[in-house]
Amino acid sequence: MIIKLLAEGGDMKPGPALSQKLGPLGMNMSDIISKINEATKDMKGLKVPVEVDVNPITKEFELQVFSPPVSELLKKELGIAKGSGEQKKIQVANASIEQIISVAKTKLQNLLSKDLKAAVKSVVGTCGSLGILIENKSAAEVEEEIDKGKYNKEIQEELTETSEEKKAALKEYFENLKKEQEKIIQQEKAAKEAEAEKKEEKPAENKEEDKEEKKQEKKQEKK
C-alpha cells in the first residue's frame, strides 16, 4: 500500500494528516517520520514529495523521495516565501537566466522535457505563474527569447552561477519596481476606502431625505 505525503524537508512532525493516513494501519509513525527526516535532511525549507510503501501485515515500509516541485526550488533559489497572488500586477522576484538553468538542471530528470533547453522553458513557465521576472522581463518575453536562441550559449554551457555585478543590477531594477508596485497598491487601497466612505454616507443622506418627505406629507394631511 502506497501512502503519498508532502513532507517538510528534514523537519517533518506528527500531525492530523499523517495520523489519518498511517494511524489506521497501526504503523510506528515516529519511526517513519524519523526516516523521512533523515532522507530529506538536505532539502530543508522545501516541501518534498514522499511515497511510503507500507506492508500492513508485517508493518515494514520503504521510502521513495522525489525532487521538490519547481515552484519550491524557485522559492528557495530566490529566497522568497511565496509566489504572487496577482501575477499580472505584483512581481515577487527577479531571477537571472543562470538561476533558471540551475533549477532546470535539478528537475531535468523529473520533467517531461527532451533536453535542458525544454526544461528551462518549463521552469520559465512556472515563473510566470508565481509572478517572477527573469532578467528584468516577464516570463512570456523570456520564453520568446529562448525560442529565438537568445540564451543558447548559457544553456549549452549549463551556466548556473550569476556574477555579483549582474546580481546587483537585477536587485536594483527589482527594488525600483517594488516601489512602483507599492505606490499602485496604496493608490488602489485609498480609492477603495474612499468608495466605502461614499457608500456609508449615502444611507445617512437618504434618511434625511425621508424625514423631509414625511414632514411634507404631514403638512399636506393637515391642510
CATH code at position 126: 1.10.10.250
Bigger pLDDT: 10 or 125? Answer: 125
Whether 113 and 134 map to the same domain: the answer is yes
**What are the distances in angstroms from CA 2 to CA 10, 41, 46, 63?**
21, 22, 22, 10
Q: Do the domain assignments include residue 94?
A: yes
Q: Do the domain assignments include residue 139?
A: yes
Report which residue type is found at 19: S
Whether 109 and 132 map to the same domain: the answer is yes
**What are the distances in angstroms from CA 163 to CA 80, 167, 168?**
20, 6, 9
Q: Do the domain assignments include residue 45?
A: yes
Whether 31 and 76 map to the same domain: the answer is no
CB half-sphere exposure, 16, CA atoms < 13 A: 0
- What is the tens place of the pLDDT at every residue in 139-195? 999 999 999 999 999 999 999 999 999 999 999 999 999 999 989 888 888 888 888
Distance of CA 84 to the CA centre of its chain: 6
Give the orientation angle of helix 97-107 with respect to helix 70-78, to 10 degrees: 140
pLDDT at 76 over 80: yes
Whether 77 and 127 map to the same domain: the answer is yes
Whether 122 and 100 map to the same domain: the answer is yes
Whether 97 and 115 map to the same domain: the answer is yes
Whether 118 and 31 map to the same domain: the answer is no
Q: Do the domain assignments include residue 208?
A: no
Lowest mean pLDDT among 22-31, 101-110, 148-157, 194-203: 194-203
In sequence order, what are the residues at sequence separation of 6 or more whose Cβ sits closer than 8 angstroms to the Cβ of residue 51? 2, 3, 4, 5, 63, 64, 66
Whether 139 and 45 map to the same domain: the answer is no
In sequence order, what are the residues at sequence separation of 6 or more whose Cβ sits closer than 8 angstroms to the Cβ of residue 160? 98, 99, 101, 102, 105
Whether 174 and 144 map to the same domain: the answer is yes
Q: Do the domain assignments include residue 53?
A: yes
In sequence order, what are the residues at sequence separation of 6 or more whose Cβ sits closer than 8 angstroms to the Cβ of residue 215? none
Q: Would you state the pLDDT for residue 57?
A: 86
Whether 76 and 175 map to the same domain: the answer is yes
Cα–Cα nearest to 47, from 29, 33, 67, 17: 67
Looking at 65, 95, 118, which one is the last position of a domain? Answer: 65
Range of the domain at 90: 70-182
Q: What are phi and psi of 151, to 5 degrees?
A: -105, 20
| CATH number of the domain that residue 26 is part of | 3.30.1550.10
- Given the C-alpha cell 510566470, which residue does it identify? 128
Quickly list DSSP for 151-163.
THHHHHTT-----
pLDDT at 66 over 80: yes
Domain count, the chain: 2
Cα(136)–Cα(118) distance, integer angstroms: 21
Looking at 42, 65, 88, which one is the last position of a domain? Answer: 65
Q: Would you state the pLDDT for residue 223?
A: 52
Looking at 182, 197, 213, which one is the last position of a domain? Answer: 182
Distance of CA 127 to the CA centre of its chain: 9
Whether 81 and 143 map to the same domain: the answer is yes
Whether 15 and 107 map to the same domain: the answer is no
pLDDT bin (cut points 50, 70, 90) of residue 102 is very high
**In which element (H, E) is residue 118 found?**
helix 116-130
- Given the C-alpha cell 406629507, which residue does it identify? 217
